[in-house]
């Protein structure tokens, strides 16, 4: 009767692993490194209030760095 117990125990373990697979995959899956790197990059972001001087300075800096094209004379 011990083989029956072992078979039932193996089936129970397989069912639990199958039911919890999304959570297990999130913890140790292949996308974990990419999500961790993305979270690390997002930590560096900061919110700039629209009324602050930093916002105006950043907009001005962005406008100055935009590439421009020179208009050629039309013939």
Distance from C-alpha of 47 to C-alpha of 57, rounded to nearest angstrom: 14
**What average pLDDT does the segment 45-68 reach?**
81
List, in order, residues 6 or more apart from 48 with CB less than 8 Å away: 54, 55, 58
Q: Are 31 and 24 in contact (CB under 8 A)?
A: no
Q: State the pLDDT at residue 8.
A: 94
Does residue 73 have a pLDDT over 80?
A: no
Highest average pLDDT, of 4-18, 32-46, 49-63, comes from 4-18
Distance from C-alpha of 58 to C-alpha of 61, rounded to nearest angstrom: 5
pTM (global) more than 0.75: no
């Amino acid at each position: 009767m011990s083989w029956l117990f072992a078979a039932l125990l193996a089936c129970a373990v397989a069912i639990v692993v199958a039911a919890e697979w999304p959570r297990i995959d999130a913890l140790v899956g292949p996308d974990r490194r990419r999500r961790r790197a993305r979270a690390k990059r997002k930590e560096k972001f900061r919110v700039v209030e629209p009324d602050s001087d930093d916002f105006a300075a950043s907009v001005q800096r962005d406008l100055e760095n935009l590439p421009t094209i020179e208009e050629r004379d039309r013939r």
